[in-house]
Amino acid sequence: MTEMLTTDFMQRALLAAVLIGITAPAVGLYLVQRGQAIMGDGIGHVALTGVSLGFLLNTSPVWMATLVAAAGAVVMELIRERGRTRGDIALAMLFYGGMAGGALIIKLAPNGSMANLTTYLWGSILTVSASDIVTVVVLAVLVVAITVGLRRQLFAVCQDEEFARVTGLPVRLLNLLLAVTAAVTVTVAMRVVGLLLVSALMVVPVAAAQQVTRSFAATQALAVGIGVVVSLGGTTASYYQDLPPGPTIVVLAMVLFGLIGLLAVPLARRRHGSGAAARDLRLPAPRSGSDPAGAVPDDEQRLSPGTSLAQ
């Protein structure tokens, strides 16, 4: 264990892993809450074009990926805001365009090759350079400041956007801030887990945590804890067993998800058995602004006399 910590590259790798374990679930929480768990994946695809552009223009691939991913995330948010009509097609175009663009542009770069891209696609924590680590630290601090410092505000916006608007919050600004923060997180994490699996680290710890939590703040804290444990565990395992770190981290997260799920079953049973559980937990899907059915109350919400008296 101590031997691992004496090497420079391993120190950097572990520092990066901790930062990613913190930031990815901290942002992913909001995406999961809004039903956009897959958004991190899309940003990852777009970021690939940024990486290739970095090679082509001979600038830092990480910074270039951050810029391009942020632009892509803003476009995705604007598409979401406009409503769902044809939005998923537009998003699909963005995803595939980002992937194809990245693969084509890298061929134009003088010293670029598919091998360069592969380290970004699958992650390669052991090649994190000293300058990379500075970038990662700066961006991670920014992400934590936003996702923890503005938790109440972002929670309100992601939970009930219509209500948040009536509180006078700058809803659009917060949505764009969240999109850019997600993009930054993706590029922070890509060196370690890789662009193809970055979304997993944003989603799986949150999914694991929310099986046993009852509050948003607790979910965030537990998800970050899980994120740090699996990132450190995965990185360490990859050092000793010569495994690719990204996939190791993601598989570890999935295993934790399963273990917590097993733990959650008796816990939930106890909670339900105490009589706290409701009979009509089911809520209708949130309305979008352009939904014509929005003017009509959902008749499934009318209780039959029997259930209402039983409450």
Partner 1 sequence: MTTAPAISLHGAVAALGGRPVLRGVDLTVQPGEVVALLGANGSGKSTTVRTVVGSVPLQRGTLELFGTPYARFRHWHRIGYVPQRTTAASGVPASVREVVSAGRLSRHGLLPLRRRDREAVDRALSAVDMLDRAGDGVADLSGGQQQRVLIARAMVGEPDLLIMDEPMAGVDLASQQVLAGTLQQEVARGAAVLLVLHELGPLEPLIDRAVVLSDGSVAHDGPPPPSGRGYPRQSAGLAGLPDDDPALLTGQGCHPQASDDHHRPRTTAPGLLP
Do 30 and 80 contact (CB within 8 A), yes or no? no
Cβ closer to partner 1: 258 or 286?
Answer: 286
Angle separating helix axes 198-209 and 8-33, nearest 10 degrees? 60
> 64 near 50, Cβ under 8 Å?
yes
Q: How far is the CB of 165 from partner 1 (least distance, A)?
A: 6
Distances (CA, A) of 220 to 2, 113, 227, 295: 31, 39, 10, 35
Binding residue (CB under 8 A) for partner 1 from 150, 229, 232, 251:
150
Asked if 111 interacts with partner 1 (CB under 8 A), we say no
Q: What is the spatial distance between Cα 95 and Cα 246, in angstroms, rounded to a whole number?
A: 21
24, 26, 29, 260: which one binds partner 1 (CB under 8 A): 29
Of residues 145, 153, 175, the one with CA closest to residue 73: 175
Which residue stretch of 69-77, 118-126, 165-173, 257-265 sits at the interface with partner 1 (rule: CB under 8 A)? 165-173
3-class secondary structure, 282: coil
Q: Say how far apart CA 99 and CA 7 lie, in whole Å.
A: 35
Tell me if 271 contacts partner 1 by CB under 8 A.
yes
Name which position in 19, 32, 48, 76 contacts partner 1 (CB under 8 A): 32
Return the H-helix or E-strand segment holding 168: none
Least distance between partner 1 and beta carbon 164 (Å): 7
Which residue, 115 or 276, has its beta carbon nearer to partner 1?
Answer: 276
In the complex with partner 1, the residue whose CB is nearer, 12 or 34, is 34
Q: Does the protein bind partner 1 through residue 266 (CB under 8 A)?
A: no
Nearer to partner 1, 169 or 255 (CB): 169
**Closest CB 214 distance from partner 1, rounded Å:** 4
Cα 39 from Cα 32, distance rounded (Å):
9
Cα–Cα distance measured from residue 196 to residue 200, given in angstroms and rounded to the nearest whole number: 9
Instruction: Work out whether 273 is an interface residue with partner 1 (CB under 8 A).
Output: no
What is the contact surface with partner 1 in residues (CB under 8 A)? 29, 32-35, 150, 152-153, 155-156, 158-160, 162-170, 206, 210, 213-219, 271, 276-281, 283-287, 289-299, 301-305, 308-309, 311
